[in-house]
Amino acid sequence: MNTQTTTKNRINTILIVFVLLNIIADIGNIIFWYASPSSQGSLLGGNIGGIEFTGGYIAQVAGDQTALSA
């Protein structure tokens, strides 16, 4: 019995590769975000590039530490 690679199988394989790359990139972004405190300004507030931020909604309602754990 001969097996043939159909177009549907190729598309599924490509989609699986893209999903895996996305997951790996998301984990890398989380590691960078924790390693670089200056990138956390959008959540906690602060001065980024001369612009003053007040922090995100979760940080204002639940506090800074809860926002980091969320």
Amino acid making up residue 58: I
- Burial profile 44-68: b = 16 or more Cβ within 10 angstroms, e = fewer: bbeeeeeeeeebbeebeeeebeebe
Which one, of 47, 49, 69, 48, lies nearest residue 58 by Cα?
Answer: 69
Give me the residues paired with residue 46 across strands: 53
Q: Are 42 and 49 in contact (CB under 8 A)?
A: no
Residue 19: pLDDT band by 50, 70, 90 thresholds? Answer: very high
pLDDT digits (tens, 9 = 90+) for 30-70: 888 888 776 666 566 666 666 666 666 566 666 655 655 55
